[in-house]
Amino acid sequence: MHQALLIPEVLLEIFAHVTEMILEPSEWSPRVTSLSRKSLAALASTCKAFHEPAMDLLWGEIDMLESLLGCVTRLHPLIYRLRNWAEGVGPLSADEARQFLRHSARVRSLSIISNCHLHLFSVIPTELYDFPRLRSLTISTKFLNLFLSHTLHHRHLVTVNEDLQSIVTRCAALKHLYVLTPDTINAVDSTAAALSRISDIVRLCKQLVTLSCPLFDWAAWRHLSNLPTLTRVDAGDTRSDAAPPCPLERGIANFSPFSNVTALSFLLHSAAYAITIMQHSQFPSLKEFKMDVDVLSLPGAEQLFRALSRCKASETLEKIIVYSSYHEYDGPPNNSSVITHFLCFTQLQTLRLGCFDFSLNLDNDILLEAMSTWPHMRDLELEDLNLCNSPITFRGLFTALRLCPHLHTLEVPIDTTTVDIDPDVEPIQHTSLRRLELKTSGVPLTNAEAFARIIFSYLPHVDQVGGSIQRYWDEVNMHLKSLKGTALHVTGATSNT
C-alpha cells in the first residue's frame, strides 16, 4: 500500500470524492444512497487503515433514523422487512439505546422528520443520548432535548415549546435556526406566548448565520441587526391569524445596519409588519428580497417599495419577488406606476411582481425607462390584473428588449388589438429570451399569423408564447411551430447542397 494512503486526511479526501461520483447526477434516490453506503461499508472492511475514515463518512450524514435504529438487534429484521415496522413496537431499553448510539460519535448531520419513531425513546433518560460531533440537526419532535450536543452548529427545530430556550442556551455556537409554529397551539398556551418565546430564543443566539421562524418582536430584530455573522432572515407565518407579538408603532427605534444580510423574506397576512421593519432598517449588502402577502393595497405597496428603495441596497439588490395571494382588481388605474420605485436598483437580475389589488399602470415609456436601468435583467415578470388598458405595444416591447440583452424570461401585459410593427422588416433579434408570457385583456386574437411571424423574426429561441388565456395563443403557437419547421427544412436542404 502506498504511504500516502496511511494519512487519514488523504483517505478522507479520496473517499469523499468517490462518494460524490457515486451520488451524481444530482438526483438523490434510495438506490443511489444505498449504493454509496455499501461502497463505504466495503472500504471500511478492506483494511485497518481504511476503517476509520470510511466509517466517518458512512455515518457522517444520517437522513433517516432507521439507519441508526438498524443497529438495534431487536429492530434490524423489522426495519428491512416491514413498511410500517414501528407500529406496536415497544420503546428502547437502556441496553438497546447503547446499540442505537453505537456510531453516534461519528454523526455530524442528523435528520429526524417523522414522528412515528418517537415512542421508541420515551423511557430512555436524555443524558444517554450523545452526539459529540453533531453540527446539523433537522428535528420534528417534542423530545427536543434528545440528540443534543454542546458543539452543535446547525439546528432545525419544528415545534415551539419551553425546551427551546434551554437548548439554545446549551448550544452557544448555534448558526442555523429553523422554527416552524405548529398548526395548533397547546390549549394552555397562546400564540402570543409562543411568539414571545421565539423572540427570547433569537436573542440568545450570538452566532446566527441563517434564521427562519415566525414573527418575533422588535428587541429580537434589534439584536439581529447587530450580528455580523447573519446572512439570511426568513420571517413569517402561514396562519392568517398570526400577529406580531407587540404593537407595530410603539417603541420602535432605528436598528443598526444588518451589515452582512444578503437575503430577506417575509410571509405575512398584511404588509404592515414588513413595512415597519424596512422603514427602520438598512441592508447595505442585501441581494434578495421576497415577500408573499395575503393582501397588498396600493398605499401599502407604495410604503413598502419606497422603504425598500431607501434601505441602502440600491447597488446590491439582484432579486425582488413580491406577490399577493388574494386579489380582485376593482378600482380605476392609479396615476403613477409603482415600477418607478425599482429604478434605483441598477443591479437587478430578477423582478417578479403581481396579483395586486391595483394596476401596475405600465406603458411603453415606463417599460423603456425601466429596462434602460436594468442591463443585467434576466427574469422580468410583471403581472397586472388591469388588462383592459394595456398600452404596451409590440413596438414598445421590442424597443425595450434591446436594452436587456441577457433577458431569459419575460411576462408583461400587452396590447394585441393592433400590430404596430412590420414582421417582414429585417429585425434586430433578441437571442437570449427563452420564455415569453404575454397577458391580454381577454379579447380574442384576430391576427395570430402576424403575431407568430413577429415572434419568429425577433425572438428566434422562443418556441411558444403563453398568456393569461392560453387558448388565444394556441393558434399563434401553431403558426410559430410551422414557421420553425419550414426554416429547419430549408436549412437542412441548403446544407445538403
Other C-beta atoms within 10 Å of 94: how many? 10
- The domains of the chain are located at 153-317, 327-497
From first to last of the 497 residues of the chain, give the pLDDT tens digit: 666 666 767 777 777 666 654 444 433 333 334 556 777 778 778 887 778 778 888 888 888 788 888 889 999 888 878 778 888 888 888 888 888 888 888 887 777 766 677 778 776 655 555 676 766 666 553 444 455 444 455 545 554 454 555 555 555 556 777 776 544 333 334 455 556 667 877 887 788 888 888 788 888 899 999 999 999 999 986 444 444 444 444 566 788 899 999 999 999 888 999 999 999 999 999 999 999 998 888 889 999 999 999 999 999 999 999 998 876 555 555 666 889 999 999 999 999 998 777 888 888 999 999 999 999 999 999 987 665 556 888 899 999 999 999 999 999 988 888 788 876 677 789 999 999 998 887 677 888 888 899 999 999 999 999 887 788 889 999 999 999 888 876 666 555 55
302, exposed or middle or buried, with CB in 10 Å at 0-12, 13-18, 19+?
A: middle
SS3 annotation, the chain: CCHHHHCHHHHHHHHHHHHHHHHCCCCCCHHHHHHHHHHHHHHHCCCHHHHHHHHHHHCCEECCCHHHHCCCCCCHHHHCCCCCCCCCCCCCCHHHHHHHCCCHHHCCEEEECCCCCHHHHCCCCHHHCCCCCCCEEEECCCCCCCCCCCCCCEEEECCCCCHHHHHHHHCCCCCEEEECCCCCCCCCCCHHHHHHHHHHHHHHCCCCCEEEECCCCHHHHHHHHCCCCCCEEEEECCCCCCCCCCCCCCCCCCCCCCCCCCEEEEEEEECHHHHHHHHCCCCCCCCEEEEEEEECCHHHHHHHHHHHHCCCCCCCCCEEEEEECCCCCCCCCCCCCHHHHHCCCCCCCEEEEECCCCCCCCCHHHHHHHHHHCCCCCEEEECCCCCCCCCCCHHHHHHHHCCCCCCCEEEEECCCCCCCCCCCCCCCCCCCCCEEEEECCCCCCCCHHHHHHHHHHHCCCCCCEECCCHHHHHHHHHHHHHHHHHHHHHHHHHHHC
3-class DSSP state for residue 291?
strand
Positions of E strands within 343-426 = 350-354, 379-382, 409-413
- Taking alpha carbons only, the member of 249, 411, 416 closest to residue 323 is 411
Contacts 24+ apart (CB under 8 A), 71-74: 71/99, 71/100, 71/102, 71/103, 72/96, 72/99, 72/100, 73/99
Q: Is the separation of the CB atoms in 476 and 451 below 8 Å?
A: yes
Q: Which fold has domain 327-497?
A: 3.80.10
The pLDDT score that the predictor gives to residue 184 is 37
Secondary structure (3-state) at 120? helix
Q: Which of 136, 143, 186 lies closest to 164, judged by CA?
A: 143
* pTM (2 d.p.): 0.76
How far is it, in rounded angstroms, from Cα 160 to Cα 424?
Answer: 64
Q: What backbone phi and psi angles, to 5 degrees, belong to 290?
A: -130, 145
Terminus-to-terminus CA distance in the chain, angstroms?
61
Contacts of 25 (CB under 8 A, 6+ apart): none
* Four-CA torsion 192, 195, 199, 205, nearest 10 degrees: 150
Q: Which residue has the cell 412515528?
A: 116
Distance CA 267, CA 238 (A): 7
pLDDT computed for residue 477 by the predictor: 93
Kindly report the backbone phi and psi dihedral angles of residue 443, in degrees, each rounded to the nearest multiple of 5, phi listed first.
Answer: -80, 125
